[in-house]
Structure 1
Amino acid sequence: MRIDVYGTIVRLGAMLMFQPLDKLLGAYMREDHAKGVIITTNRPTGVQRFTAGHELGHMHMDHEPHADDENILRRAPVAGTYRQVPMQEREADAFASHFLLPRFLIEKHHHAHSLVERDYENPQTVYQASLRFGASYAATLLAFERENLISRPMRDEMRKVQPKDLKRDLIDDLQVENWSNRDVWRLTEKDEGLVIEANRKDIFVLKLEEHKGAGYLWTFDELKDAGFVILKDESEAFHNNLLGGPNRRYVLGDPSALPDGSYTIRELRPFDPTDDAQSLTVHVRTAAGGDPGLYAPQLDGLLRTQ
């Protein structure tokens, strides 16, 4: 569901490299007919991808070479001081926003998750959408404002919420010492077919409706056999006074050992495993940008031509 920003940079003829930059988020370089983009490995995936979109904008619009620091994260097109930002930087910002968060992608997410107007006022909705888009929380807020899903005052208010607090709310009492470059994916039945481009340190939280009263239980054997470590497994009835009614299964796990691949979990009766009530399939991919070096698909292509 993400826009392939890294592949686009390569297809437009630039070399793409990731390095642990100290004070810079990224840079666009050009010399004669050679072009290159460098992205830091020291920031979360959403920041990396927005920086890549920003540098792609410079390259696509034939701007002058430029190095970008954290200022590209702090400024906003709606801020009164934005007119003081150089024109080429404003153009690259706008390009990155529309390229990574186009209207059709926002609409697709809206319908897939059956969202309504008030859902967009929930910071958790914005945070989870940002993971699926591969954009930062702040960039996703701006895109929702751009598409008139939230107002500017609402965007300003929600911007005060720290993503770290949203992550903590999702994992309850699990202790995490370092949130750097780590996200929490909340997965439900509505994520059927989702491609999860996760960092190795990310956490999965599965919240699934389970018909335990009818003998059905969610099974996670395929995930566990592949290396998924369950850290917490609980269930809670939707309605405490409804005997035999559905409950919510809550599973929190560590996917760091999962190889890239497709995984299916199923709700079934243990005494009749052929009777599937429902299933959820997700496609797990390791997010690019975690390790220094040339962008892996580009490197593979160069090696094949040798």
Structure 2
Amino acid sequence: MVGRSERESILRGIRGAKRLQRDLRLDIGASRAQRVDVFGCIARMGAMLMFQPLEPLLGAFIRENGAAGIILSTRRPLGMQRFTAAHELGHLFLGHDPHADDEGILRRAPWANDAAGMPAVPPEEREADAFASYFLLPPYLIKEQMELRGWNPRNFEQPETVYQASLRFGTSYRATVFALEREHVIGRSLGQQLRNAEPRDLKRQLLGDYTLKNAQRVDVWHLTEQDQGAVIEASRDDLFLLRLKEDSGSGYVWTFDELRDAGFAILRDGREPVPAGQIGAPTVRRVLAHAERPLAGMLTLREVRPWAPDDDPQLLTLYCKTATSDETGLFEPQREELLAAS
């Protein structure tokens, strides 16, 4: 059971996250459906953001001569980096003392000790945990993404759906499960079952016999027609599995010249077997791709009849952006600003 002092720490963290969301206008307009730009928020708060190959630390919040700074490790996947960044931002915004954090912030739940006998979490750490969880995954973001994707609570009974949701939220798989519990989208018992799933296994299930060399750092985006208009913010090494219904019986095929022009390399291209007894039904085109250069812009794929390409094509438009997280040095926008001022 959560003690009163711990509950108060959690509420202080959530109130702080809500206040900063309002101050930065993150809960207004189209941004309600997009992952929170936590690195940009740190810069907007006037703190310098630095990436360094820290080990075993994940990050740190520092103050020196009245100036604030946050350091993040380059040796962790983007989802872990983003949670660490939000945790350190919580320390900054809530007026905490400087602090360094290791993987303990990832292993504990943001609202209570995981199990009896576990050491108590200091109040400032509990506040920063709750701040990070709420700041990265506010209720409106979960609601907007569920509506866009057509997800309902039953969809989240499948760990595969939770993993794909985590990519769109920009959080780790584990942090996503905690947030879904917090908002009562799923129950605590289901949450515990979901936490037993390993993201690396979910990635490999998506890829089949394709070998995934670095299951920790590489994510696999499963894209379908339901992603129409989606903003895809991926790490540089991520893979993209497109599974698109193709009305080949009527002569329609998906074209992927646009994919290549946007900087993707197609690793595999094929069609899934048609189930027995469903001859003539739409097939599923299955394409695995990898971005060979940083992405930034709109990508539109088309399902057309080759002899009449402008005759009522089916479109899939994605807004793709590479979110770099493994380069050492100052946060790029801050570095560019300093260079421009010099």
Identify whether the pair has TM-score above 0.5, normalized to the shorter chain.
Answer: yes
C-alpha distance in 2 between matches for 1:220 and 1:276? 17
Give 2:277's aligned residue: 241
Write out aligned runs for 1:1-306 (5 A). Answer: 1-76=34-109, 77-78=111-112, 79-80=114-115, 84-236=120-272, 239-257=275-293, 259-306=295-342
Question: CA shift at 1:192, angstroms?
Answer: 1.6
Question: CA shift at 1:261, angstroms?
Answer: 2.3
Q: Using the TM superposition, name which of 87-96 and 219-228 deviates more.
A: 219-228
Q: Using the TM superposition, name which of 44-53 and 225-234 deviates more.
A: 225-234
How high is the sequence identity, in percent, across the aligned residues?
A: 52
Q: Using the TM superposition, name which of 214-223 and 251-260 deviates more.
A: 251-260
Q: Using the TM superposition, name which of 247-256 and 291-300 deviates more.
A: 247-256
C-alpha distance in 2 between matches for 1:103 and 1:48? 21
C-alpha distance in 2 between matches for 1:88 and 1:64? 9
Question: CA shift at 1:258, angstroms?
Answer: 5.1
Question: CA shift at 1:199, angstroms?
Answer: 1.4
User: Could you report, residue by residue, the CA deviation over 1:42-75 in whole angstroms, capped at 9, with x for unpaired residues?
Assistant: 0011000000000000000010000000000111
Tell whether the 8 Å contact from 1:44 to 1:181 is kept in structure 2 after alignment: yes
Q: Which amino acid aligns with 1:289?
A: S
- SS for the counterpart of 1:84 is coil
TM-score scaled by structure 2? 0.86
Question: CA shift at 1:283, angstroms?
Answer: 1.8
Q: Which amino acid aligns with 2:326?
A: G
Question: How many residue pairs align between the two structures?
Answer: 306
Question: CA shift at 1:32, angstroms?
Answer: 3.2
Tell whether the 8 Å contact from 1:202 to 1:256 is kept in structure 2 after alignment: no
Give 2:12's aligned residue: none
Tell whether the 8 Å contact from 1:209 to 1:249 is kept in structure 2 after alignment: yes
Question: CA shift at 1:7, angstroms?
Answer: 0.8
Tell whether the 8 Å contact from 2:294 to 2:321 is kept in structure 1 after alignment: no
Tell whether the 8 Å contact from 2:200 to 2:216 is kept in structure 1 after alignment: no
Q: Using the TM superposition, name which of 94-103 and 153-162 deviates more.
A: 153-162
Unaligned runs of 5+ in 1: none
Query: What's the RMSD between the two structures over aligned residues?
Result: 1.5
User: Could you report, residue by residue, the CA deviation over 1:95-143 in whole angstroms, capped at 9, with x for unpaired residues?
Assistant: 0000000000000111111112221110011100101111000000000
Q: Using the TM superposition, name which of 66-75 and 179-188 deviates more.
A: 179-188
Question: CA shift at 1:289, angstroms?
Answer: 1.8
User: Could you report, residue by residue, the CA deviation over 1:67-101 in whole angstroms, capped at 9, with x for unpaired residues?
Assistant: 00000011112424577100000000000000000
C-alpha distance in 2 between matches for 1:292 and 1:276? 47
Tell whether the 8 Å contact from 2:54 to 2:75 is kept in structure 1 after alignment: yes
Tell whether the 8 Å contact from 1:226 to 1:258 is kept in structure 2 after alignment: no
Q: Which has the larger share of strand? A: 1
Cα distance, 1:149–1:26 mapped onto 2, change above 3 Å: same
- SS for the counterpart of 2:309 is strand
Tell whether the 8 Å contact from 2:294 to 2:322 is kept in structure 1 after alignment: no
Q: Using the TM superposition, name which of 229-238 and 159-168 deviates more.
A: 229-238
TM-score scaled by structure 1? 0.96
Q: Which amino acid aligns with 2:268?
A: K
Question: CA shift at 1:245, angstroms?
Answer: 2.1
Unaligned runs of 5+ in 2: 1-33
Q: Using the TM superposition, name which of 259-268 and 12-21 deviates more.
A: 259-268
Q: Which amino acid aligns with 2:63?
A: R
C-alpha distance in 1 between matches for 2:190 and 2:108? 17
Cα distance, 1:189–1:40 mapped onto 2, change above 3 Å: same
